[in-house]
Amino acid sequence: MKISDVKEVFRNIYNRDARIYIAPGRINLIGEHTDYNDGFVLPAAIDKHVIYGLNENGSNKYRFHAVDLDQTFEAQAGKLIQADLGWPNYLMGVIDQLNRAGHDIPGFDAVVTSDIPIGAGLSSSAALEAGLATGLNEIYNLNIPKLDLVKLSQRAENEFVGVNCGIMDQFASVFGKSGHVFRLDCRSLDFEYFPLKLNGNGIVLVDTRVKHSLGTSEYNTRRQECELGVSLVAEGNAQVKSLRDVTRDMLESVRERFDPVVYKRCDYVVGEIDRVQKACEDLVAGRIEDFGEKMYETHEGLSKDYEVSCEELDFLVDFTKKDPDILGSRMMGGGFGGCTINIIKETGIPSFRENVSEAFKNRFGHPPLFYDVKVDDGVRQFYE
Ligand code: ADP
Ligand code: MG
């Protein structure tokens, strides 16, 4: 759906004009399972968006319409309660956080649509939150700084929706910059942009369309394994608070006290935090091939040491190794399904898609989906 369609839908339902806000989804080039270890990630906003039509309505009611689901929802200012529908909670969560920060939010109307695939790991949820938070901030002249919009969007998802997400997704949706990735320090929330010069290569996501149910419990287990590793290293180094503070040498020196499984989990995370730094050096030096190689290393670690991959993801990454047009490939996100992210020579994209589609379907019974993405700006008001 185009922006002009959102305006029209808004006008048809509410008989007024809307202000338009667009909030992107995100990719993460490298730095996986590093966020909750106080490490670095390297995300970027993409050219897939949630589009909002928004405007005040002069009442004490919030009225939402989700075009893609053809569903409508109403809530009353000051009386927000969790909805069974699901999606209104992302919106109410934002209002709830604004309220908690001391801002009254009078009634408004919202039309929302999106071309970010839902649940594929491109953070449609964070875009929903960042888009509304930004729109309401401007419409009601709240003057909330961008970083606070990021934080309250995350808390909206944590507290109102009840999803224990990190801060990267909302960060990327707000601070994304066209042509750039940014390295986010998940401990300090400092960040730095790096130009992503792809030199004739494109970014293609391949969606397995599977989500293995193991995901949530394994995620919690990984977090515990990391904490256990930190506590072992911290016994001799009181300044160690997270795997961010741990080096390979420190790990090695206490290796005999580690359970081998916990050791390899920690070894992956420590290596990955370091790899993000080196990958940024590659970008600065224009070494996109070396950058791609590091994506393969990340996947290897996630698959063999961190053990959060699955057959479908491994199949897709292995398949790319036969294709000389592919510079890098890895699973993206928490794991156990979702997408791989691939850097591919532009000219090789059509044949890659065709070949992998066929092979994947033969093996798993259904073809994967493909999303070509470009690195784009963060959330903004759209003016004609
Ligand atoms: P993702 O990886 O895409 O963020 P999540 O499970 O975190 O997946 O969030 C997906 C949820 O966000 C959906 O179940 C729905 O409630 C909401 N959502 C996403 N896109 C839309 C949309 N276009 N319209 C309404 N709700 C949406
Ligand atoms: Mg999400």
Residue 234 banded pLDDT, cuts 50, 70, 90: very high
Residue 165, pLDDT > 90, answer: no
* pLDDT at res. 114: 98
Residues acting as catalytic residues: 169
The pTM is what? 0.96
* Domains within the chain, CATH numbers bracketed: 3-196 (3.30.230.10)
Residue 373, pLDDT > 90, answer: yes
Residue 294, pLDDT > 90, answer: yes
Q: What is the 3-state secondary structure (H, E, C) of the chain?
A: CCHHHHHHHHHHHHCCCCEEEEEEEEEECCCCCCHHHCCEECEEEEEEEEEEEEEECCCCEEEEEECCCCEEEEEECCECCCCCCCHHHHHHHHHHHHHHCCCCCCCEEEEEEECCCCCCCCCHHHHHHHHHHHHHHHHCCCCCCHHHHHHHHHHHHHHHHCCCCCCHHHHHHHHCCCCEEEEEECCCCCEEEEECCCCCEEEEEEEEEEECCCHHHHHHHHHHHHHHHHHHHHCCCCCCCCHHHCCHHHHHHCHHHCCHHHHHHHHHHHHHHHHHHHHHHHHHHCCHHHHHHHHHHHHHHHHHHCCCCCHHHHHHHHHHCCCCCEEEEEECCCCCEEEEEEEEEHHHHHHHHHHHHHHHHHHHCCCCEEEEECECCCCEEECC
* pLDDT at res. 357: 98
- Residue 49 alpha carbon to ligand 1 centre in Å: 12
Shortest-distance ligand to the CA of residue 70: 1
- Per cent of the chain over pLDDT 70 is 100
pLDDT tens readout for residues 298-356: 999 999 999 999 999 999 999 999 999 999 999 999 999 999 999 999 999 999 999 99
Residue 164 banded pLDDT, cuts 50, 70, 90: confident
Residue 176 banded pLDDT, cuts 50, 70, 90: very high
Q: Which residue of 27, 68, 125 sits with most ligand 1 atoms within 8 Å of its CB, as the best mutation to test the pocket?
A: 125
Residue 196, pLDDT > 90, answer: yes
Residue 284, pLDDT > 90, answer: yes
- Residue 321 alpha carbon to ligand 2 centre in Å: 30
Q: Averaged over 240-254, what is the pLDDT?
A: 96
Q: Which residue of 118, 163, 336 sits with most ligand 1 atoms within 8 Å of its CB, as the best mutation to test the pocket?
A: 118
Residue 26 banded pLDDT, cuts 50, 70, 90: very high
Q: Averaged over 167-195, what is the pLDDT?
A: 98
